[in-house]
Amino acid sequence: MSRKISVIAGAVVLAFTAGPALAAKCSNSSKGFSAFKKDFAVYAKQNGVGKRGINALASTKYSPSVIKFDRAQRKSFKKGFNAFYKLRTTGLAGPAKRQMKRHARLLNGIEKRYGVQKEVLITIWGMETGFGRFSGKHDIVTSLATLTHDCRRSAFFRPNLLAALKIIDKGWMKRSQMRGARHGEIGQTQFMAKNYVAFGVDYDRNGRRDLVRSVPDVMASTANYLRGYGWKAGGSYQPGSHNYNVLKEWNAATVYQKSIAKFAASIAR
């Protein structure tokens, strides 16, 4: 999941970015990371983060492996469409169809409520984490702090770091549970932290939005995200359509959008 606007989302992002400008300077190395954390802690406090969130930030260490992965992934999205599609969808058709059958009742209910076709949700689920098998084991706060400190995309990661600290501070997830991919993505469809807050849904009604262990919450939250960016119920999601453009808000890489559209159509038959 990459760039993840509804009125609700806009309000949340505004709340997370309000207040004085962040004084912390970015760096393309570990230099200044301790000073960055101190400055970000001040910023976080000004935006309502309490002791638990601040302590989570303080415990992080700069991660060179996160930066190395970031640079390598940037290159992977430069593959041609055919190579990328093969890489991300080979062997996925059978499991995708089985998951769609297994969760048919759930998916039908979500499609009725949010308007997002079941094959699109199944495709995203499969392409992101192999249906929850590979959601990542990396420390999300460390990843987000490192990437916010890094100069390449600090503006993108800053609100996500702030959101991650709020998630911990509010008790929605324990620090020990904040494990995911190296870019800080959370759960089975890889939500960034600010989108977890803005679009997470407690679809199974157990009192919490669990995008790590609850398939109903994962599927409903993914559908809610797409609807939040203007998905038209039942509309085409092929290139040139309105819904295809909404997929750009899921992932900015054209090869990823095209892959979702192509694979979803193939399992819908």
The answer to whether residue 149 sits within a structural domain is yes
- Which residue range forms the structural domain that includes residue 21? 7-69+136-197
Asked if residue 216 belongs to a domain, the reply is yes
Token pair of 54 as six digits? 């601040």
Residues 145, 33: one domain? yes
Task: Write the CB contacts of 113 (distance below 8 Å, at least 6 apart in sequence).
Answer: 220, 223
63: left (phi over 0), alpha (psi -120 to 50) or beta: beta
Please give the torsion angle defined by the CA atoms of residues 205, 2, 242 and 9, in that order, rounded to the nearest 10 degrees.
50
Residue 205 corresponds to which amino acid?
R
* pTM of the entire predicted model: 0.84
Number of domains, the chain: 2
Task: Provide the CATH number for the domain around residue 108.
Answer: 1.10.530.10
Final residue belonging to a domain, choices 197, 212, 235: 197
Cα gap 217→222, rounded to integer Å: 8
**In Å, how far from its chain's centre is CA 123?**
15
Task: Give, to the nearest 10 degrees, the angle between helix 64-76 and helix 140-149.
Answer: 80
How high is the pLDDT of residue 76?
Answer: 59
Residue 2 falls inside a structural domain: no
Using alpha carbons, list the distances in angstroms from residue 208 to 114, 158, 194.
19, 25, 16
Position 18 scores a pLDDT of 44
Query: Do the beta carbons of residue 130 and residue 266 sit within 8 Å?
Result: no
Q: Are residues 114 and 146 in the same domain?
A: no
Task: Please indicate, yes or no, if residue 75 is contained in any of the structural domains.
Answer: no
Q: What angle do CA 187, 188, 189 make, to 5 degrees?
A: 95
Model pLDDT, residue 73: 74
pLDDT for 113 equals 98
One domain, residues 238 and 150: no
Last residue of a domain, one of 160, 180, 197: 197
pLDDT score for 14: 41
In a domain, 173, yes or no: yes
| Residue given tokens 């900015």 in the structure block | 252
Q: Along the 269 residues of the chain, how does pLDDT read in single tens digits?
A: 654 434 344 444 444 444 444 556 788 889 999 999 999 999 999 999 999 999 999 999 999 999 999 888 766 566 799 999 999 999 999 999 999 999 999 999 999 999 999 999 999 999 999 999 999 999 999 999 999 999 999 999 999 999 999 999 988 889 999 999 999 999 999 999 999 999 999 999 998 889 999 999 999 999 999 999 999 999 999 999 999 999 999 999 999 999 999 999 999 97
CB 27 within 8 A of CB 143: no
Do 64 and 140 belong together in one domain? Answer: yes
* Residue burial 23-56, b: 16+ Cβ < 10 Å; e: rest: ebebbeebeebeebbeebbebbeebbbeeebbeb
Number of alpha carbons in the 13 Å side-chain half-sphere of residue 203? 23
Tell me how far apart the alpha carbons of residues 32 and 99 are, in angstroms, rounded to a whole number.
47
Let me know if residue 74 belongs to a domain: no
pLDDT at 2: 52
CA torsion, ordered 200, 167, 7, 119, to nearest 10 deg: -20
Query: What are the phi and psi torsion angles at 261 (to 5°)?
Result: -60, -45
Per-residue model confidence (pLDDT) at position 108: 97
The rounded radius of gyration (Å) of the Cα atoms in the chain is: 18
